[in-house]
Amino acid sequence: MKRLLLITCSFFSLTTFSQKVFFTSPQTFDASTLNVFYASVCQQGNLVLFNAPDYRLYAFDKKSGTEKWNQYLKWKSNQAPFIVSNRIWVKMGDHVVQLDAATGEKQKDLVFASVETEPVAKNGLLYFTGIYDGGCLFAYEPQKDTIVWKRFIAHGTSQTPYYLKDKIVANVEGNRWLEFNYSGKTKDARCEVEEGQFLSESPCAKEFYALTHDGNPITGKLAKELSVDGNTIQDYVTTSRNTFLINNEQLTVLGNKLKKTVAVDLLSLSDSLVEFNTDSLSHPDESLTKILKADDTHVWIAFYHHLLIYNHAQKKLERLINLSTWEPHQIVADNNNLWIISRKDGRLYGVSI
């Protein structure tokens, strides 16, 4: 097994912008590979998966830093693999395959051309959206490797459904959503459409942008206010008590019943953000904006080549961490660590915050 490349000096990690780099993937990539750039990362338990720009999937042990295995995928993507019951679902060429998480060996070919959203286990089945005979919402039996049912939802596959106690609320195109039971039928038989019609034409399809943590639809004036272009919400995350949204350069936090508890311009939080010069960056026009994680008091945001740790309970910025050394392409938060794919060199880094 290959040993990961550790940046160390007398067993102490290198500190960059006061952060400790504890992991650097050993792969190097040439200019042609970096010019057409796609890569993704995910983690679960003691496993980190790096879908690298060289069309390979690498699995690393978090504790030891060893490379456990790698698998040639013939595919590189900004969509990370899914870890499903200690198995890995990832696109290989023109379809999805299932790999053994421990060895990376291919266990079987799945029928799906792609899996678009995180599979959710319920009632012994897996529910997710993907591509097979068009864009569909699926109920899949993993033990028998069979599709129990599917509903055609066209481009709605890009939106993660809401899996509630007794229903699934799935996007069926644009900002139109429809309720299904866990048998794949619309909640009301009168909501079904005739053959040849799209489900977005159902009289029961409701128009909203997203559901909040307490189940309220974001619609109307609020939806326009929180959207990037009057049509799309840039990024949002829910906890049990709040909904966090980013549109352009503003963070909005909603409490129960759509009550705004925070509305703040992210650039206004620090002069360092306003004054940050991108001229020295290798890709100055590319900047990741994403909510990495949130809880009852804090939200972690990747913004303008920085990490913002914002205390939304006290409405103040607690930490601002410059990440421009890596020019992040993707970031996954893992407790107090970050897994960062660098747009500069294509490598995966582990950074302790």
The domains of the chain, with CATH numbers, are 212-322 (2.40.10.480)
Radius of gyration from C-alpha coordinates of the chain: 21
Q: Give the pairing of strands 316-322 and 306-311.
A: antiparallel
Q: What is the pLDDT of residue 285?
A: 84
Angle, CA of 31, 36 and 38, to the nearest 5°:
115
Q: How far apart are CA 268 and CA 272, in angstroms?
A: 10
Q: What is the pLDDT of residue 271?
A: 95
Per-position b or e across 338-352, b if 16+ CB within 10 A of its CB:
bbbbbbebbbbbbbe
Quick one: 200 exposed, middle or buried, by C-beta within 10 A (0-12, 13-18, 19+)? buried
Bridge partner list, 332: 339
Question: How many Cα neighbours within 13 Å face the side chain of 244?
Answer: 22
Q: What is the pLDDT of residue 94?
A: 93
pLDDT digits (tens, 9 = 90+) for 308-352: 999 999 999 999 999 999 999 999 999 999 999 999 999 999 999
Q: How far apart are CA 78 and CA 100, in angstroms?
A: 21
Bridge partner list, 272: none
Parts of the chain with a pLDDT under 70: 1-18
Asked if residue 162 lies in contact with residue 168, where contact means CB atoms within 8 angstroms, the answer is yes
339 three-state secondary structure: strand
Question: Helix (H) and strand (E) counts for the chain?
Answer: 3, 32
Q: What is the pLDDT of residue 18?
A: 67
Q: What is the pLDDT of residue 8?
A: 36
24 three-state secondary structure: strand
34: Cβ contacts below 8 Å, ≥ 6 apart: 53, 345, 346
Q: What is the pLDDT of residue 44?
A: 94
Mean pLDDT of the chain: 92
pTM: predicted TM-score of the whole model, two decimal places: 0.91
pLDDT digits (tens, 9 = 90+) for 67-87: 999 999 999 999 999 999 889
> Quick count: other Cβ atoms within 10 Å of Cβ 311?
14
Q: Tokens for 134?
A: 């068009």
- The alpha carbon of 324 is separated from its chain's Cα centroid by a whole number of angstroms, namely 21
